[in-house]
Amino acid sequence: MIIAIDGPAASGKGTLARRIAETYELRHLDTGLTYRAVAAALLAQGLPLGDEKIAIEIARNLDLAKMDKAVLSAHEVGEAASRVAVLGALREELVRLQKDFAQTPPGAVLDGRDIGTVVCPDASVKLFITASPEARARRRTAEMVSKGQEAEFSSVLDDLKRRDARDSERTVAPMKQAADAHLLDTTEMDIETAFQAAVDIIETARKS
Ligand code: CDP
C-alpha cells in the first residue's frame, strides 16, 4: 500500500503522514527533507542555490537514512529548499530516490508537493491537505517558538505565501492536487480531528 500526501507548508501533512505510517505499519518519507538536505549542503558550502550540477552531485550521494530532521527543519532551510526545488534535473534525481523508497515492501507513506502527481501517480490513496495561510502561519510560528526560535507571525505568514506561490507556479512538478486526491482542509481542525478525518478517507478508499 502506498499513501500519497501533498499540500502546502505547515498544513499538517508531515504530522499526519507520520501518524498514518505508524497506524498502518508502513515506512514514511518526508520528501521535503530531500530538498532541504540538498539546499542545506549548498548553503554550508557557500554555493549558489541555482548551481544544478553540484546540487545533482549532492543528491546522488544523499543517504535518506542519514537526513537530520532537527538541522534541516530550520526556517531558512525551507526557503532555500523551495529555491532548489525549481531545478528540473535535480528533481529527477530526487524523485528516483523517492520512487525507490515507495516501491520497497511493505509499502510507504510519502508526503510532499508532487507525490500524487509525479512520484506515486498510482498510489492506493491520495490526500491533499490544506489550511488557510493564516492558520498555517499560526501553527508554524507556534512550532518555531516552542523550539526556542524567534518568530513573528506576520513575517512567517509572508514567507509561507511567497513559498506557496513559488511551489505552485514553478514549471516543473508544481504543487497541485491530483485529480483523484481527497481534499482535507484542516483550518478548523486540531491534529487529532485531522488524523481521524484522514483515517476515515483512507478506510473508505480501501473498501471501494
Ligand atoms: O515542512 P514544510 O511544509 O515547510 O516544507 P517541506 O515539506 O519540508 O518542503 C520544503 C520545500 O521543498 C517546499 O517548499 C518545496 O519547494 C520543496 N518540495 C518539493 O518541491 N517537492 C516535494 N515533494 C517536497 C518538497
Residue 146 belongs to domain with CATH number: 3.40.50.300
Q: How many CA atoms lie within 13 A of 181 on its CB side?
A: 27
Nearest atom within ligand 1 for CA of residue 110: 23
For ligand 1, say whether the CB of 85 is within 6 Å of any of its atoms: yes
- pLDDT of 11 reads 94
For ligand 1, say whether the CB of 133 is within 6 Å of any of its atoms: no
- pLDDT of 48 reads 97
- pLDDT of 208 reads 79
The protein residue with its alpha carbon nearest to ligand 1, atom 15, reads 82
The protein residue with its alpha carbon nearest to ligand 1, atom 8, reads 32
Within 10 Å of residue 94's Cβ, how many Cβ atoms?
24
For ligand 1, say whether the CB of 109 is within 6 Å of any of its atoms: no
Q: List the pLDDT tens digit at each of the 208 positions of the chain.
A: 999 999 999 999 999 999 999 999 999 999 999 999 999 999 999 999 999 999 999 999 999 999 999 899 988 899 999 999 999 999 999 999 999 999 999 999 999 999 999 999 999 999 999 999 999 999 999 999 998 989 999 999 999 999 999 999 999 999 999 999 999 999 999 999 999 999 999 999 988 7
What predicted TM-score, i.e. pTM, was given to this entire model?
Answer: 0.95
Q: How far apart are CA 29 and CA 115, in angstroms?
A: 11
For ligand 1, say whether the CB of 94 is within 6 Å of any of its atoms: no
- Distances from the Cα of 95 to the Cαs of 12, 63, 171, in angstroms? 22, 14, 16
- pLDDT of 91 reads 98
Retrieve residue 152's grid coordinates.
513573528
Asked if residues 120 and 99 have their Cβ atoms less than 8 Å apart, the reply is yes
Q: Which domain holds residue 80?
A: 2-207
Domain count, the chain: 1
The protein residue with its alpha carbon nearest to ligand 1, atom 23, reads 112
